[in-house]
Amino acid sequence: MILRRCDDYDPDRIRAIIGESMDELGIKPQGRTLVKPNTVIAHRLFFPHAFTRPEFLDGLFGALKERGDEMTDLSLGERCGITIPTRYAFAEAGYPKVMRKHHVRPRYFDEMPQVRRDLHMEGRLRDYIYIPEAIAETEFLVSAPKFKAHPWTKVTFNLKLYIGIQDDEHRLIDHDHHLHSKIADLYEVIQPKICVMDAITAGAKTMLTPKPFPLGLIIVGDDAVSTDVVCTHIAGLDPRDVDHIRIVAERGWGSLSLDDVSIEGDVTLEEAKGRAKGFELSLDKADAQYNGKSNLKVYVGPPPDTYDYCWGGCPGALTEAMGIIGQMEDDVENSIKPIHLVYGAYRGDIDVGQGEKVLFIGDCARWCGKIGGKDVDIPFLYKERKLISPERVHAGDLVGKILKFFFEQIFAVGKRVIRIRGCTVSVAEMVLNLSWLGKTKNPYFDPRIVFRFSWHYVLAKIGRFFGKLRSPSAIALKKPPQQTPE
Ligand code: SF4
């Protein structure tokens, strides 16, 4: 793999660096080529550092096209996060101009048929999953993530990018304490032929509202596991401590040892680590993050199975939701009205002041005791994983969630205890609950978001309607060749 220095977003320089790296690795795009960026969320004002930058994609598209005599199609595909339409995120990220320049086709994974793929590897969570038609058709996958920290999974590089290949109803299945294994399941479906990472301005601390960190690198590899192993070392972690990287490697897709990676380029690993000094990660559990440092009081119990904390589910959504509200409201940790949040099988007391609300979050929350002098019994509503069928899941869109939320608030008037159902409870739902109950600004109603969002929401609805009417194309249905680790 190759570490190259690049301190600014100059598309020509980026194109040259990526092109030289491809030549050095002997990689040329072939057939139907799809670039998968990290566009989990994008907005010029509020989320400027959460996504792979358009200048980076400009350079990447240029490098691919210069070597594209065997490439039959070039597209950019993604399913962004928190149930917003991907076409809105693409527009806010500034991608359409770059796509037009290079004649790149947008593939919105939320507006197309989903295709079943069987899984075979030992340790899999499920025997089959659903992926978008565009991924099923892809012959040459280009992974183009942003180098970022992540409160659920510690880091998000090439492997974590895989969560963005599923549409919401399938993405939210197993997006809990099994998240790391889910990533390994998705990796079985397709592996990137090249990994090209935007580490020019990295994203520290969180993944939706990261702090910009000038890392000044472009990282290119021919294999997602070894590229992620090197990036994890750069971020100051041991890859054995990042569960999804460890699990993918243990399933036979690569090695966790640096001895098995040859690193070329004009930056050594030690220099790259030096550049990343001070890169903030988010490794604390939710109670450690907020108790005593904010008006939130968080009570954490274990989720089901043998896990002690649900790293892939509801607690991480709190961090991101607070980050989003914090983009609109200064010092949100202290301006938010006091709220108590309870996760998992918490067994201790809940000490609630006059007029304060208690939220029991997620289906696995359970508790029995007194709140405000009244008996409260929160039952365990968690459904066994194997009872959840991908054909029967439903994930409402954002407008549906907003309407449902305000309808539920009518019945919650005067109640001190509120149960939020779901496994997982999404970031979008957490934003709604925290902003409403905590009396902060609600980002969804900010005029700098709402009008442009509404326009793209309508377009996405139309696209989704026609997309879901179609059957998956013959190409997508064709059984792919069996893919196993070499
Ligand atoms: S309900 Fe939330 S905290 Fe509980 S297992 Fe599901 S995702 Fe994890």
Residue 302 CA to ligand 1 center (angstroms) comes to 9
One domain for residues 220 and 325: no
One domain for residues 303 and 238: no
Read off the pLDDT band of 410 (50, 70, 90). Answer: confident
One domain for residues 254 and 369: no
Q: pLDDT: is 388 or 232 the higher one? A: 232
One domain for residues 143 and 233: yes
Task: Report in angstroms the alpha-carbon separations of 4 from 17, 271, 401.
Answer: 7, 11, 44
Residue 424 CA to ligand 1 center (angstroms) comes to 5
Average pLDDT across the chain, whole number: 93
Residue with tokens 């037009």: 100
Give residue-wise pLDDT tens across range 256-292.
Answer: 999 999 999 999 999 999 999 999 998 899 999 999 9
Which ranges constitute the DSSP H helices of 291-383?
314-326, 332-335
Q: pLDDT: is 91 or 424 the higher one? A: 91
Give the chain's domain count: 2
Give a yes or no: residue 33 inside a domain.
yes
The backbone torsions φ and ψ at residue 71, rounded to the nearest 5 degrees and listed phi first, read -90, 130
Which of these three, 242, 275, 308, is where a domain ends? 275
Give residue-wise pLDDT tens across range 289-303.
Answer: 999 999 999 999 999
Read off the pLDDT band of 342 (50, 70, 90). Answer: very high
Residue 5 burial class via C-beta count within 10 angstroms: exposed 0-12, middle 13-18, buried 19 and up: middle
pLDDT reported for residue 66: 98
Nearest CA to 239 among 180, 290, 310? Answer: 180
Read off the pLDDT band of 482 (50, 70, 90). Answer: low
Read off the pLDDT band of 44 (50, 70, 90). Answer: confident
One domain for residues 254 and 348: no
Instruction: Answer yes or no: are the C-beta atoms of 307 and 416 closer than 8 Å.
Output: no
Ligand 1 atom, smallest distance to 424 CA: 7
Which residue's C-alpha comes closest to atom 4 of ligand 1?
364
Residue 484 confidence (pLDDT) above 70 = no
**Ligand 1 in contact with 344 (CB < 6 A)?**
yes
One domain for residues 238 and 383: no
Residue 311 CA to ligand 1 center (angstroms) comes to 9
Residue with tokens 């509801």: 314
Residue 144 confidence (pLDDT) above 80 = yes
What is the maximum alpha-carbon separation in the chain?
74
Which residue's C-alpha comes closest to atom 3 of ligand 1?
314
Q: What is the DSSP string of 150-216?
A: ETTTEEESTTGGGGGGS-HHHHTTT-STTHHHHHHHHHHH---SEEEEEEEEEEES-SSSPEEEEEE
- Describe the crossing of helices 447-469 and 86-93 by its angle, rounded to 10 degrees: 130
pLDDT reported for residue 467: 86
Give a yes or no: residue 218 inside a domain.
yes
Pairing of strands 2-5, 211-221: antiparallel
Residue 303 CA to ligand 1 center (angstroms) comes to 6
Dihedral of the CA atoms 438, 444, 446, 452 (nearest 10)?
170
Give a yes or no: residue 365 inside a domain.
yes
pLDDT reported for residue 215: 98
Instruction: Answer yes or no: are the C-beta atoms of 92 and 81 closer than 8 Å.
Output: no
In whole angstroms, give the CA distance from residue 30 to residue 73: 9
What residues make up the domain containing 405? 286-443
Instruction: Answer yes or no: are the C-beta atoms of 58 and 96 closer than 8 Å.
Output: no
pLDDT reported for residue 67: 98
Which of these three, 238, 253, 275, is where a domain ends? 275
In whole angstroms, give the CA distance from residue 433 to residue 451: 22
341 DSSP β-pair partners: 298, 359
What's the token pair of residue 67?
A: 């070597």
Give a yes or no: residue 299 inside a domain.
yes
pLDDT reported for residue 479: 57
Residue 410 burial class via C-beta count within 10 angstroms: exposed 0-12, middle 13-18, buried 19 and up: exposed
To test the ligand 1 pocket, which listed residue (175, 179, 341, 343) has its Cβ within 8 A of the most ligand atoms?
Answer: 343
One domain for residues 179 and 44: yes
The mean pLDDT value for 90-96 works out to 97
Residue 278 burial class via C-beta count within 10 angstroms: exposed 0-12, middle 13-18, buried 19 and up: exposed
One domain for residues 317 and 263: no
Read off the pLDDT band of 481 (50, 70, 90). Answer: low
Which of these three, 246, 275, 304, is where a domain ends? 275
One domain for residues 264 and 147: yes
Give a yes or no: residue 456 inside a domain.
no
Residue 387 confidence (pLDDT) above 90 = no
CATH number, residue 29: 3.40.50.11440
Ligand 1 atom, smallest distance to 382 CA: 1
One domain for residues 9 and 118: yes
One domain for residues 210 and 291: no
Give a yes or no: residue 352 inside a domain.
yes
In whole angstroms, give the CA distance from residue 340 to residue 351: 9
pLDDT reported for residue 402: 87
The mean pLDDT value for 120-134 works out to 94
Give a yes or no: residue 451 inside a domain.
no
One domain for residues 223 and 363: no
The backbone torsions φ and ψ at residue 306, rounded to the nearest 5 degrees and listed phi first, read -100, 10
**Ligand 1 in contact with 62 (CB < 6 A)?**
no
Q: What is the pTM of this model?
A: 0.93
Ligand 1 atom, smallest distance to 365 CA: 4
What's the token pair of residue 384?
A: 């066994």
- Is the dihedral angle over the CA atoms 88, 401, 303, 117 positive or is it negative? negative
Check residue 355 and report its DSSP letter: T
The mean pLDDT value for 236-241 works out to 97
Helix, strand or coil, per DSSP, at residue 265: strand
Residue 445 confidence (pLDDT) above 90 = no
Give a yes or no: residue 291 inside a domain.
yes
In whole angstroms, give the CA distance from residue 32 to residue 70: 9
The mean pLDDT value for 2-21 works out to 98
